[in-house]
Amino acid sequence: MDVLVSPAELIRGMPAEIRITAYDGSAIVDPGTVTVTVTRHDGTTLWSGAASGIGTAPRTVALSEADLGSLDFLSITATSSVFGQVSAHVPVVGAPLFWIAEARRFDQGQLADEVRYPDDLLIAVRARVREAFTSVTGQRFVPELVAVTLDAAGGDTLLLPDVRVTRIRSAAIRNGASWQALSDDDLANLVIAEPGLFIWTRGTWPEGRGVVRLAYECGWPQPPAEIRRAALRVAASYMGMLPSNLPDRALTLSDELGTFRLATPGVGGSWFGLPEVDAVLQRYRASIPGVA
């Protein structure tokens, strides 16, 4: 039995509905009573109880605008006597890489069919594209909450794996087997020196591997226009809706003008096999500073 927890991402400040759908093969089945617990990144419980819904309808949990008022990543645990227990992790991001309505209107409207391409499917693709763009460029094109455990070399300087950091939400340093959280006063003395680099002006980081834990907000406030368009093109490509009369495995094309190498994902520096998209991502690749 498969259980789908949707949507794949939530948008800060927008009310949403968590849905749990149980499948036996391709058929939707009645999951019975489903209890759900939604936990924030800091371990506090956002929601707990029995989800709404009967029969084969998805079991739902409504989250309000206030519930989703901050960047977060939620842990969702759903339990029933039919499928047992499943868990999912859903980020709350500050803006969408593109709106679902945009995807339906994009190009020639290839994704306009809401039956063939339901909202949850397009949201899942959007989340996948967002993560892929971050992997390629080292940048986050929407505001996100990031939690990391870092090595430190002592001194007052710490190198982050992200640029465009806007706020440190929490920090802790390891002392043997335990962790000591930095106070609000300590957090106020963390200064971003340059992208990906910040200084603790009144303290010293420990030295060692995995000795600092951070949760911070980072990313572009809104995706640049060319990144949004590139994301839409990749989404349409993932759905198989960018038409081509070439064989899927073709690497070259020959005609009366000669032989040309085709843009192929993973070949010759191409990430997606879409030259327009690859060129945009190349321009936005971030350079993380080093620490001397």
Which amino acid, 174?
A: R
Pair 107, 62: CB distance under 8 Å? no
Report d(CA 106, CA 76) in Å as an integer: 32
Please tell me the predicted confidence (pLDDT) of residue 292.
39
- Sorted by sequence, the CB contacts under 8 Å of residue 221 that are 6+ apart come out as 94, 95, 143
Please tell me the predicted confidence (pLDDT) of residue 291.
42
Please tell me the predicted confidence (pLDDT) of residue 53.
97
Please choose, from the candidates 139, 203, 218, 132, the residue with its C-alpha nearest in 3D space to the C-alpha of residue 172. 203
Q: Using N-to-C axis directions, what is the helix angle for 225-238 and 119-137, rounded to 10°?
A: 120
Please tell me the predicted confidence (pLDDT) of residue 247.
45
Please tell me the predicted confidence (pLDDT) of residue 270.
79
Question: Where do the structural domains in the chain lie, given as residue ranges?
Answer: 1-93, 144-218
At 141, list the tokens: 């094109």
Pair 128, 238: CB distance under 8 Å? yes
Report d(CA 278, CA 230) in Å as an integer: 9
Please choose, from the candidates 113, 130, 126, the residue with its C-alpha nearest in 3D space to the C-alpha of residue 241. 113
Pair type for strands 35-39 and 178-181:
unpaired
Please tell me the predicted confidence (pLDDT) of residue 272.
86
Q: What is the mean pLDDT of each run of 10 residues along the chain (292 residues)?
A: 95 97 94 98 97 97 98 97 96 98 93 94 95 94 97 91 92 92 92 84 92 95 97 86 41 40 51 88 78 40
Residues, the chain: 292
Does the domain at 1-93 match CATH 3.20.20.70? Answer given as no
Please tell me the predicted confidence (pLDDT) of residue 80.
96
Report d(CA 39, CA 36) in Å as an integer: 10
Report d(CA 177, CA 183) in Å as an integer: 19
Please tell me the predicted confidence (pLDDT) of residue 240.
58
Q: What is the pTM of this model?
A: 0.86
Report d(CA 175, CA 2) in Å as an integer: 42
